[in-house]
Structure 1
């Protein structure tokens, strides 16, 4: 029967191919390989594009191999649901950090319960992955979030206009620049407070 492998490229530098090599070095010959990108960490397993394709193609009696437990889902409930679904379909599961699992046996059910407890203890892992996803672009010098709707020059000019004489009102500045009053206040209030 065929062996399916699944991995996630955690960054552009750390490609899922490393996971494939890890699985093959453990003695499993992968017939079909599927991999999602780092954004998949944030999605439940059913919303991961390549994982969904894998699930559509894998059949009863075949094997799914992954390097780590977190490849099967975003959190405890998701991992548990994925494992139960694979067990119901009689798909053999290999998680390198744990070993081969026959999910239909009583020992497999015991391991499933232990996995659930481990996943619960590892509750901070998704937050750590999210932090690493955020730090990558920041260290590369890219700005995260929505692009600013005003330039630095426009913001300096708004502060100057608001401070001068009687000052241009927040509402007038918002209309003139096509932004909300709250956005104008975030720009001019810190500058006003510092003077």
Structure 2
């Protein structure tokens, strides 16, 4: 987005953390846009003006809070994944076919097209190709 912005345009973002990966990025992005004549609107905050020290301080604090929120979310996600894994839960989508069907698909491939196999087993072409690709390895 940053490379496409032109003077006078105003990007609108839903949250401050959409402007950068961390507080440092956010604090670098907004002044860079301002130097290019681009105003930024963060919906809960409105137009951001870096002309006054008070506005700069407010932006710094909000950027730090946004970074903290992101880090807490990542931490919680990682903890949840680790807990699920320790409980023996599978973190992948359930397979569309069972082992017997996969074996049959590989055997039938020499007589059937990929499309006909997909119809026969009521799965997508991508599923059939994935089964065949796995069987080749």
Tell me the TM-score normalized by structure 2. Answer: 0.49
Higher share of residues assigned helix? 2
Higher share of residues assigned strand? 1
